[in-house]
Structure 1
Amino acid sequence: MGIDHDTLVFFSKSWGLFYLLAFAIGVLAYTFWPSNKKRFNEAKKSILDPEDKPWK
């Protein structure tokens, strides 16, 4: 008994959806984890140097 195309499509659509949802939840948990706040605030402030000025 072989695996037909419809079975593979069903499997990839259903488990692919669960995989992407779990990945998104993991990314959000990492982003809003309290111990990462310092790292993200430093990254936010380190984009520009204090002496950077707009061109005139």
Structure 2
Amino acid sequence: MQFTHEFLVGFSKSYGLFYLIALSVAITIYAYWPALRNRFDKAANSIFDDEEGPCR
């Protein structure tokens, strides 16, 4: 079986879209998972914890 350019383009457009949607949903679920809240809050506030004051 030979793959033509039209077949590969159609395949990548249809299944690539579903792949990216599934990946986006998985990343969103990971980001809003309740058990990871402390880790993300610590990472968001870590820049403020390391500061001693303005540079001189």
TM-score (norm. length: structure 1): 0.82
Over aligned residue pairs, what C-alpha RMSD do you find? 1.6
Task: Give % identity.
Answer: 45
Which structure's relative contact order is higher, taking Cα pairs within 8 Å and 6+ residues apart? 1
Runs of 5+ in structure 1 lacking a partner? none
Q: In the alignment, what sits opposite 2:12?
A: 12
Distance of aligned partners of 1:45 and 1:2 in 2 relative to their CA distance in 1, 3 Å threshold: same
Structure 1 runs, 4 residues or longer, greater than 4 Å off: none
Q: Which runs of 5+ in 2 are unaligned?
A: none
Relative to its length, the structure with more helix (as a share) is 2
